[in-house]
Amino acid sequence: MLEFLRSNGLFAAGIAAATLLYLLIDFFAVVKNFASILKAPSFWFFWFLISVLNFLAFKALNGPSSSLGEQFGNARELALIVFSTLGTVAILQSFALKIGDRKIVDVSTVIENFRATVLEDISRRAASSQREFTSRTANRLFDAFKGKPAEPALRNEFVRVMTFGDRNAGQVKEELAQISVEADTLQVPLAMLLAQRIAKADVGEAGRLAREAGRLLDQRTDMPAGTNSIG
């Protein structure tokens, strides 16, 4: 094992890195969340499996009698890593062993089902992460408006954010009335529900509002006693 690592360790590391890069690009094209990809154990198991197969493909391409990649000179091994990575993926996506018209082994289906399971795991983690981020942003927005008449201020921001989309004033007014009823039913501050709804509709705008309100509060706090913002 030690001899194997000494003689093939560098190539194995390169193949593992190439496989990781490919899979990150592949999954990010669907999920758009690197953090959720890297936190999914199923992704790392999938990466390990593809890396092993990729290494076997590399050893086959890099055999003593192989002339593949010689035109790349000193970059031959790097070229072979690229070829083996792309070749491994292509073969796994289409390989099937047939006897007559009957498939005995369909590797492509197994790999695709495994990939779908990994994607489902990553998507679930990404959705959970997004919900947590939205909730934290809503709390920040609510806290940022505590130093001012929070309910009227957030009510105005709610109307502005909601009318920015396709909804008209009447629809926004109806939703605002429903949120008011919900606040009374749950016995919670209306401003809290407004902050949550704003963050759910546009978490980026909610974050901007929280930061802006925080800066304005800091400016008022830093002003000398006896002064005001009008001057």
Q: Is residue 138 part of a domain?
A: no
Q: Is residue 139 part of a domain?
A: no
Please give the pLDDT value at position 160.
84
Within this chain, do residues 92 and 150 fall inside the same structural domain, yes or no?
no
Within this chain, do residues 153 and 80 fall inside the same structural domain, yes or no?
no
Within this chain, do residues 92 and 10 fall inside the same structural domain, yes or no?
yes
Q: Is residue 6 part of a domain?
A: yes
> What's the structural domain count of the chain?
2
Within this chain, do residues 110 and 17 fall inside the same structural domain, yes or no?
yes
Tell if the pTM clears 0.85, that is, is over it. no
Within this chain, do residues 115 and 171 fall inside the same structural domain, yes or no?
no
pLDDT digits (tens, 9 = 90+) for 109-128: 888 888 899 999 999 999 99
Q: Is residue 84 part of a domain?
A: yes
Please give the pLDDT value at position 229.
39
Within this chain, do residues 71 and 103 fall inside the same structural domain, yes or no?
yes
Within this chain, do residues 92 and 153 fall inside the same structural domain, yes or no?
no
Domain span at residue 19 reads 2-122
Provide the pLDDT confidence category of residue 230 given band limits of 50, 70 and 90: very low
The percentage of the chain sitting over the pLDDT mark of 90, rounded to a whole number, equals 19
Residue that finishes a domain, picked among 87, 107, 122? 122
Q: Is residue 161 part of a domain?
A: yes
Within this chain, do residues 193 and 88 fall inside the same structural domain, yes or no?
no
Within this chain, do residues 194 and 155 fall inside the same structural domain, yes or no?
yes
- Distance between CA 31 and CA 43 in Å, rounded? 13
Q: Is residue 204 part of a domain?
A: yes
Q: Is residue 81 part of a domain?
A: yes
Within this chain, do residues 16 and 91 fall inside the same structural domain, yes or no?
yes
Residue 209 has pLDDT above 70, yes or no: yes
Mean pLDDT score, 37-61: 86
Higher-pLDDT residue of 221, 214 = 214
Higher-pLDDT residue of 217, 20 = 20
Mean pLDDT, the chain, rounded, equals 77
Mean pLDDT score, 8-25: 82
Within this chain, do residues 40 and 107 fall inside the same structural domain, yes or no?
yes
Within this chain, do residues 103 and 9 fall inside the same structural domain, yes or no?
yes
Q: Is residue 129 part of a domain?
A: no
User: Most confidently modeled of 50-54, 74-78, 81-85?
Assistant: 50-54
